Amino acid sequence: MFLLITIISILLYALATGLISSRLFHQDGPNVPHSRITAILALLLHGATLFHDVIIQAGQNLSITNVASIVAWIMAATITAASFGLTPVFLMPMVYSFAALVLAMNAIIPAMYLIHIELHPSLLIHISLALFAYGTLMISVLYTIQYSYINYRLKHIRASILHSSLPPLMRVEKTLFRILLIGISLLFLSLASGFIFLDDMFAQKQVHKTILSLISFIIFSGVWIGHKYLGWRGNGMVSATFIGAILLTLAYFGSRIVKEIIL
C-alpha cells in the first residue's frame, strides 16, 4: 500500500512541476493555485510514507535515503508555504522534481541506519536542527540560482524578462539573504547542540562532519556579512554559496553514501 502511496506522491510532484514549468515564462504566469493544491496533496502522501519508513518497530530508520527524503519534504513544504506570499515560481519546479526523484530513489534503493532516539532524547534536537539547517541553506542556494538567472537575463535579454513571471532582482536578493541568515542561524544552533549533546564531535567517526560543517558555516557567514556590510554580490557571492553548499552536503551525506549505498 505504501509503495502505491509513494508512486502517487511522485506523480503529484511531477504534475505540480509540469503545471508551473509549462507557463513559467508566459506573460500571465503559471497556474500557481492548481500547482499549490497538487503539491499539498503530494506533501501529505510524502509525509505518510516518511512516517512509515522512519518510525519502525525496531527504532528509527535514519538511512541516507530517508534523511534525503526528510530534507526534500522540508524544502517542498517551505516552498509551498512561501507560494502564498512570495510566489517562488522559478524554484517550485526544481524543489518538486527533486522531491519526486528522492522518493523514487528511496523506493528503489532502500537502506537501513537504525538509531534509538528514545534512549537519547536530546539527539532529536540536534538532528532536527541539522535537517532544518540543511534544507533552509539548500533553498538559499536555489534562490542564488534564481538570482544569477535573472541577473543574466537583465544583462543579455533585457526585453524578454519584462514579459515573464519572474520576480524583480532586488526582491530575490532580499529574500535570498533573509533565508541565508535563517539557515546560518540554524546551522550554528545545530553545531552548538552537537557540542553540547554529543560525546565527542571530533571523534574519528565525526571529525570530518564537524570540520566540513564548521567550514561551511564560516563560508555562509562570510557571504552574508560581506553582502550586508561590504556590498558583495555577483559571481563571487554565487560561487562562495555553492562551495558552502557542496561542503555541507559532503559533511552530511559523503561518508554515508559510501557506507550505505556503494558498500
Q: Could you read off the pLDDT of 221-253 as tens digits, one per residue?
A: 999 999 988 888 878 888 999 999 999 998 888
**What is the per-residue pLDDT for 4?**
93
From 94, 18, 91, 13, select the one nearest 49 (Cα to Cα): 13
Residue 34 sits in the same domain as residue 142: no
- Boundary (domain end) residue, out of 70, 85, 119: 119
Cell 534544507: give the residue.
135
Residue 36 sits in the same domain as residue 137: no
pLDDT at 210 over 60: yes
Residue 200 φ/ψ, nearest 5 degrees? -155, 105
C-alpha torsion angle, residues 226, 88, 7, 57 (rounded to 10): 50
**What is the per-residue pLDDT for 247?**
93
C-alpha torsion angle, residues 250, 252, 256, 261 (rounded to 10): -80
Strand ranges in 111-173 using DSSP code E only, listed in sequence order = 114-115
On whether the CB atoms of residues 89 and 24 are closer than 8 A, the answer is yes
- Boundary (domain end) residue, out of 119, 152, 176: 119
> In the predicted model, what is the mean pLDDT of residues 53-78?
90
**What is the per-residue pLDDT for 86?**
67
**Alpha-carbon gap, residue 45 to 145, rounded angstroms:** 29
Residue 75 sits in the same domain as residue 89: yes
Host domain of residue 139: 122-263
- In this prediction, residue 206 has a pLDDT band, given cuts at 50, 70 and 90, of confident
Residue 136 sits in the same domain as residue 261: yes
pLDDT tens across 151-191, in order?
887 777 655 555 556 777 888 888 899 999 999 999 999 99
Relative orientation angle of helices 64-82 and 32-54, to the nearest 10 degrees: 150
Q: What share of the chain is helix, strand, coil (3-state, %, to 5)?
A: 75, 5, 20
Residue 249 sits in the same domain as residue 132: yes
Residue 39 sits in the same domain as residue 115: yes
pLDDT at 208 over 60: yes
| Ordered strands of the 55-56 beta sheet | 55-56, 59-61, 114-115
pLDDT at 23 over 80: no
- In this prediction, residue 25 has a pLDDT band, given cuts at 50, 70 and 90, of low
**What is the per-residue pLDDT for 74?**
95
Residue 141 sits in the same domain as residue 176: yes
Cα–Cα distances in angstroms (integers) from residue 82 to residues 21, 199, 248, in the given order: 17, 38, 24
**What is the per-residue pLDDT for 184?**
96
**What is the per-residue pLDDT for 191?**
93
Q: How many domains does the chain have?
A: 2
**Alpha-carbon gap, residue 31 to 12, rounded angstroms:** 15
Residue 130 sits in the same domain as residue 257: yes
Higher pLDDT, 201 or 50: 50
Residue 46 sits in the same domain as residue 74: yes
DSSP string of 33-62, one letter each residue: HHHHHHHHHHHHHHHHHHHHHHEETTEEE-
> In the predicted model, what is the mean pLDDT of residues 48-77?
90
Cα–Cα distances in angstroms (integers) from residue 42 to residues 5, 15, 24, 67, 89, in the given order: 9, 10, 21, 18, 17
Residue 250 sits in the same domain as residue 148: yes
pLDDT at 63 over 70: yes
Residue 169 sits in the same domain as residue 98: no
Mean pLDDT value across the chain: 86
- Boundary (domain end) residue, out of 93, 119, 145: 119
Top-ranked range on mean pLDDT: pick from 25-34, 133-142, 145-154: 133-142
Residue 134 sits in the same domain as residue 246: yes
Q: Which long-range contacts (CB under 8 A, 24 or more apart) does 228-237 make?
A: 228/177, 233/173, 234/151, 237/144
- In this prediction, residue 261 has a pLDDT band, given cuts at 50, 70 and 90, of low
